[in-house]
Each structure stands twice: as C-alpha cells, then as structure tokens.
Structure 1
Amino acid sequence: MLLRRSSVAHKLVSSSVAGRSSLFKLGGCSLFASQTAALPLLPDAMPSAREEYADINWDELGFGLQPTDYMFSAKCTAEEGFSRGELNRYGNIELSPSAGVLNYGQGLFEGLKAFRSEDSGGLLLFRPEENAKRLQMGAERLLMPSPSVELFLDAVKKTVLANRRWVPPPGKGALYLRPLLLGTGAVLGLAPAPEYTFLVYASPVGNYFKEGLSPIHLMIGDGVYRATPGGAGDVKTIANYAPVLKAQREAKRKGFTEVLFLDSVNNRYLEEASSCNVFVVKDNVIATPATRGTILPGVTRKSMIHLARNLGYQQVEERLVSVDELADADEVFCTGTAVVVAPVGSITYKDKRFEYQTGSKTTGQRLYSALTGIQMGRLPDDMDWMVEID
C-alpha cells in the first residue's frame, strides 16, 4: 500500500519505523510518538476486498451514520506508548465509568473525507496531514498524548482501504472519516487519564444540510456564545459541541438552518457557526474572522483562502469582521469538511433579515467548483493536496 505523493513527508507514511520519539512524556505516553509499524495487507476474505460497492441507494445518501465494516484502534499506555494499532470490526467499545473522557471531557475528534477519483476511480484523501497536525495541537492543549502524523495517516489509509466498498461512486458523496483521541483510562481525581485510545471509523455521507446545495439561512445567537478568550475554542475538543445544541435547536425551531455566533467580549464580531467557518464578500473583497484562539482553524477554511488567492482575488483578509458588515455584504458562505461550501441566502440579526447573492456566478460557487474539482480528480492538483491510496 502506497501513498502517491512526491513529498518526503508522505513517503514516510508507508515506512515502517520501529523507534519512538517524543517532545515530552505524559504518564509514560509519548506525545507525538512516531510509531508507524505497518499492518498486514487486508485479507481477500474481507467484504471490502470482494465487493466494489456496498448495497445502498447512493442517490439518497444524506449526512447520517451508516455503519461500515471496520474501524482502526491504537492504545497508548504508560508502559508501552502508542501501539501500532489494528483493524477490528466496527462496533461498540468498552469504557470504564471513570474514564477520563466520560468524567472530564478529555477527548478530541477530527473529520476528513475520502473520495473516488472521477478520472481513475482511485481513492483520494484531502489534506489528511492538516487534520493530523490539528489533532496534535488539540492534544497538547488538553494534555493528551497524540499519534504522530505518520501513525495518523497510516490509520486513516487503512480505514479507507478496509471500507473501500463504502466509498460512494464519483459525484455521489464521500467516505467521512472520524478520528477520535480519547482518555479511556480510569481516573477519579481531576487529572490526565493514564491511558488513551486513538480510533478511526468511517461512514459514507452526502450533503450535510437538508437543503443540499441550496442556500442556507442563519440566525445570530443572542447572548449565547460558543467560546471565550483563553478557552479552547480553537481546539476540536468534544466539549465544544454539546453546549451549542440548545441554540442550534432553537434556531431550527424558528425555521433557520444554523446559528452564527458572535464574540463573547464585545458581542459584535462574527466568529463561526456550530459546525463551520464563515466568509463575507463585498466588492470582490473576501473576509473571514481571524481565529485568535476562539475559532476553529478549519482545513477547508485554510484551503478556501489559498484557492481564492490563486484564483486572482486580490484581497482575502483574515481579520475582525463586524456584525454591521452583514447589512451591505454582497455574499456570505460557510465552509467545513462536512458542509464543503454552503451558500448563505440570509442572516437574521435582532429581527433584521439580510439577504445575499447566491447561484452559479458567486464567489462561493466558484470556490466550491474549484475545491470539489480538485477533490474529485477533475482539476489539476497544483497545490499537491490530494493523497492517492493504492
């Protein structure tokens, strides 16, 4: 199994590294440990090796859990550090009631996608090393050991290959991959868990929002905040998501698609929605809120900024974006691994509804076409973002 990339970083993924290295130790678990011992090739007896596609209706695929065949898991203990990991049948896991993740929220997750190339039919991953690095950043913030980039990529690659029959046909969706890093060791007092588990599971998905590619409609939360300065708003920790559910449900009850949050200090500057970053366009100037420790640094967000500059937009700004700018903006769109690029038809703020341009000639649509073209193999990958798996 090889990763077809020319860079040294990606050649390392297919190497077998016996040694371990770390920046420092946490209860014997090496932070950013570099174990990458390769797993055996998948046996032909696996369903994923026998069948080209799973028997589901790909045309009705939404964004919901569809259990697949296999998941990957690796343990980190004080005595052994990170194990090389293994593939097991997808299913429930056993946890102590005093596991760190259950008692103190010591858990992180990532989200990335695998695609079938329209050109070759091969399997492609979009910028997985960015997710690996973000997981490491989050692990450092929560005082958790983290798998190395090499181990992360190896685990993701093996999970895709084991579940390849669940990768949708070109143009029908993607295989969503959910890496998890959990404090699974038992702990009673407030302290880091003594053992950790790194998991990767997968599910085929279609569009995230029920609107599909149609415009979504946002409501700005009033007096409800997603993050505070000095907190962990820029970390993809599980603890950031349950607190937004009440505001999200209220928005949906009122007929909106999502909540757009303001900053918690001035109650004036845009931050992000529950599950995606936001961009505002005015006179061909593209602006997105600067992360500043309270906004998740999205992989799709980062890619959009790069793509926009490559497509000739002279001003692409990461800065404070005031809620007042919504009144005369030309266009607003959201980005994320799950949503990709979602056009915003309207935003409602304090009973004022602002409407925006949508459709084929907008900036958001142009960026969406460029991004998905690269992801699906229709357009040249000049940025070397895609990783092809054999």
Structure 2
Amino acid sequence: MDIRIETASSAQRRTKPADESKLVFGNTFSDHMFRMDYRDQQGWTEAKVVPFQNISLDPAAMVLHYGQGIFEGMKAYRRRDGKINLFRPRQNFERMNRSAQRLCMPTIDVDEHFDILETLLRADHEWIPQSRGSSLYIRPTMIASEAHIGVRPAKEYIYYIITGPVGAYYAEGFNPVSIYVSDEFVRAVRGGVGEAKTMGNYAASLLAAEVAKKKGFTQVLWLDGVERRYIEEVGTMNIFFRIEDTLVTPPLTGSILPGITRDTVLTLAKHWGVKVEERMIDIQECVAGIETGKITEVFGSGTAAVISPVGSICYKDKTYTVRDGSVGELARRLNDEIVGIQYGEKEDVFGWVHEVKI
C-alpha cells in the first residue's frame, strides 16, 4: 500500500506525559494518526499518516444515524532492549474484518493492516512508554461517512487509527475488582451483533454500568438476553471461573465477543494441563459455588486489563466474596505469563508476538 506521510510540525506536536506512573487510560494521544477513505466502486484510497486532527463529518453521515461503526483495541509494548512488540495483531485484524462483514462494511486485507499500523508506529514510536505495565494503546476504527438518510449500508467509509500511551485500565490495577450482576438489562442476544466489536454494544451497556457504579461496583456481569440466567461476559472483559480443578468460561454462541485474550487464556491453560470447559454457567451455580468454596477463582480477560481478578460478585443485592477476596493462583500465573510474553521477557512458544521494525 502506498501511504503518504505528513509529519507533524513542532507546533502540532503534543506534550508527552512526564511521569509514566501517572498515565490514565484513554486521556492522552500521540502526534499522528492514520486515515484512509472508501468509496463504492473505488475501494480504499488516500491512505495517509497525518498529524492528529479532527475528522469532519456531514450531519447526515450514516454512522450518526444508523450506527455503522466498528473498532479494535490493541497495544504496542516496549521491551527492555528497546524493541517494540505487538501481541497477536493478526487476530485483531481478522476480528475487525468479521465485525465489518457483520455490519455490511468493507474489509481491509490483513497484510495491508500490518503495513498501515507499522507505518504509523514508526512515526510515533517515541510515544511508546518505557516502563513495564504501561504501553501504547492502539484504536483502529471504521465509520460510515456517506451523507444519506435512509436505512441501507453506506457507500462511503473512513478508516482511521489513533494511539496513545496508557497505564492500567482499572484504578485497582491487578487487585481484585467487584462486579454487579444485572438481571434488569441485557447487552446482546444471539443472532444480534454481540460478537462484533461495534459501538452500539457499548452504548447499550452504559446504563447498567452507571447503576453498578452508583452501587459501588467496578463492572457489570451480563446474563443472557433470553432467560437472564446464564452468565455471558463482563462489561469490558470475558469471564472465567475456576470450579474445583476445571477452568470454565461461557461458550461463544453469538452474543459474546470472541476475545483474543480469552483465547490466549484457554490456550495457555490447556498447555499447562489445566482442564478447560466452554459451557453454559447458570448464575445460581455461580453463587452457590462461591458460597460452598467450589469456585475458588473468578477473573476477567481482555486487551485493556489483560487479567482482572474478581474479588466479589453482587447478585440480587447479596454480595458473594470469592474465596477470601484475594488474587487467585491461576489468575496471577496467567497474568504473569501473558504480560511476560508481551514484553519479551518470557518465551513465546506459540508465535504470538510480532516485532515492529522501527
């Protein structure tokens, strides 16, 4: 792909955070961004890296009216030797294409995805934090830009990538979080767009998340949209339960985002000889298992937080503390292993790491 590069001037450059230990997730953005445009019959054109800037949209842009918008979440990690790693980026690009297909949007060749992202990272590699635990968050996004009122797939799109240095996603860091089970609201149903990383899914989660926050909880645990009985996922993570000697997670039935960290956890657990099951988990089985001690660990997984231990679950105004509320052994081992691979400190036996040539 022919990518034009417009380097930011000194006046356009942004102020880098002076103290990486105080990085807040999602507040700071790098000097440059990538953008290209799609038009029906022409395909993708005008690929360029430009200074970070506003995007102009017609008030009739179809993303604003009909919600054709998708995104991904990725990170770039600086190793101790200064080299830059991406973790399983091909899976992100492939998932974005699946999301695009589900919402009738154009796809982008995976190899072109790599060219685009590496070009952008070369322009902004100095923004990748130095300290372990921090990283450069990468947000590829696609929106319908055609000016048209009428329900049909758009014929014009904008694809862009913005990046920014981040610290821990949750204020708790790797300490256990508390989650609230919502049996009033649902996130998605089978046959809908729950398995796509589309903006509307997150808008649908906001009210329940606000309810949980006001009650003092960090996140929402969603139940299925039909019986409101079976556990699906947490607001920003897939969910895992260690039930006796087995690691259990809900199956991918169409209403759950197929998390890349989720797949990483399953692969590592199997590699270590841990028994793994992907099956339906009734909320009553969950709370009973916590009460009896049958469930010894609960944790979430996702790109932003990696592994997030769950210390307690609130269901129908009763709070259930998982074991003694501390971080479980398997959650800690998984987090150490995944983070170690991401930063190039542990052996990558699965070929998950992609090194960016700066």
TM superposition score category, shorter chain reference: over 0.9
From 246, 266, 269, give the equivalent of 1:285.
Answer: 246
Look up the SS of the partner of 2:354 in the other structure. strand
Matched, 1:65 2:27: yes
The answer to whether the 8 A contact 2:5-2:48 is kept is no
Matched, 1:300 2:264: no
CA distance in 2, matches of 1:55, 1:101: 33
The answer to whether the 8 A contact 2:17-2:23 is kept is no
The answer to whether the 8 A contact 2:20-2:131 is kept is no
Look up the SS of the partner of 1:113 in the other structure. strand
Deviation string 1:119-173 (CA, Å, 9 cap, x unpaired) is x210111111101111111111111111111122222222222221111113041
Look up the SS of the partner of 2:115 in the other structure. helix
Matched, 1:103 2:65: yes
From 315, 325, 337, give the equivalent of 2:303.
Answer: 337
Residue identity over aligned pairs, in percent, reads 38
Shift of 1:62: 2.1
Matched, 1:349 2:315: yes
Residues 253-268 of structure 1 correspond to what in structure 2 (within 5 A)? 253-268=214-229
Partner in structure 2 of residue 389 of structure 1:
356
Deviation string 1:254-287 (CA, Å, 9 cap, x unpaired) is 1100110100112111001111110010112001
Supply the AA of the counterpart residue of 1:77.
Answer: R
**What residue ranges of structure 2 are gaps of 5+ in the alignment?**
290-294
Partner in structure 2 of residue 318 of structure 1:
278
CA distance in 2, matches of 1:292, 1:341: 22
Find runs of 4+ consecutive structure 1 residues off by over 6 angstroms: 40-43
Partner in structure 1 of residue 346 of structure 2:
379
The answer to whether the 8 A contact 1:58-1:172 is kept is no
CA distance in 2, matches of 1:373, 1:98: 46
Q: 1:46 to 1:316 in 2, by over 3 A?
A: farther
Shift of 1:192: 1.1
TM-score, normalised via structure 1 length: 0.85
Look up the SS of the partner of 2:311 in the other structure. strand
Q: Please say which of residues 174-183 and 351-360 is displaced more in the overlay.
A: 351-360
CA distance in 2, matches of 1:320, 1:178: 31
CA distance in 2, matches of 1:214, 1:55: 25
Supply the AA of the counterpart residue of 1:345.
Answer: G
Shift of 1:54: 3.6
CA distance in 2, matches of 1:288, 1:207: 24
TM-score, normalised via structure 2 length: 0.93
CA distance in 1, matches of 2:218, 2:328: 23
Root-mean-square deviation (CA, aligned residues, Å) is 1.9
Partner in structure 2 of residue 33 of structure 1:
none
Supply the AA of the counterpart residue of 2:205.
Answer: V
Look up the SS of the partner of 2:262 in the other structure. helix
Q: 1:296 to 1:361 in 2, by over 3 A?
A: closer
CA distance in 1, matches of 2:37, 2:250: 37
Equivalent residues, number: 348
Deviation string 1:175-208 (CA, Å, 9 cap, x unpaired) is 0000001111111111111111111100111111
